Amino acid sequence: MDKILLNQMAFYGYHGLFPEETKLGQRFVVDAELMLDLQKSSRSDDMNDSIDYGEIYNVVKEIVEGKPKNLVETIAEQIADELFRSFDLLEACQLKVTKPDPPIPGHYQSVAVEIYRERKV
């Protein structure tokens, strides 16, 4: 399956269960793998036969920088839902939403949620 990849999209949001997360906010990083047939667009060289990367970025930004959610899982699911609503050519997507600096004790690089969704027929 062909893919469009958007890696390490960085945003600032106010999601989380702890009061300081919803008040102070924090960084979120999103990786998106979008599966679709790119054969037609690669031959036509026409954006109408593909998905505009900038539009993908804007969909993700609107959700991550939008209304606060308790769970990173919810952010990922809402991104997937909106991508399917916005892009008819999209067949499946894999999304990773990372919190680089969550307010939990311990030593780690980050915490993340990764989901895979396919278009419902």
Q: Do 68 and 14 meet the contact criterion of CB atoms below 8 Å apart?
A: yes
pLDDT at res. 60: 98
Please say if 3 is a catalytic residue.
no
Q: Which residue has the tokens 């959610």?
A: 69
As a whole number, the mean pLDDT across the chain is 95
φ, ψ dihedrals at 68, nearest 5°:
-60, 140
- Degrees, nearest 5: CA angle 96-47-118: 35
Give the rounded percent of residues in the chain with a pLDDT score beyond 90: 86
Residue 42 φ/ψ, nearest 5 degrees = -70, -25
CA atoms of 115 and 83, how far apart (whole Å)? 13
Which residue of the set 3, 67, 96, 99 is catalytic?
Answer: 99
pLDDT value at 116 more than 90: yes
Give residue 84's pLDDT: 98
Q: 60-114 pLDDT, tens per residue? A: 999 999 999 999 999 999 999 999 999 999 999 999 999 998 888 888 889 999 9
The answer to whether 60 touches 79, Cβ cutoff 8 Å, is: yes
Residue 70's alpha-carbon distances to 16, 22, 42, in angstroms, are 4, 9, 40
State the pLDDT at residue 45.
96
pLDDT, position 112 = 96
Beta-carbon contacts of residue 87 (< 8 Å; ≥ 6 apart): 34, 36, 51, 55, 56
Q: Distance (Å, rounded) from C-alpha 76 to C-alpha 64?
A: 9
What the chain holds in terms of domains, given with CATH numbers, is 3-118 (3.30.1130.10)
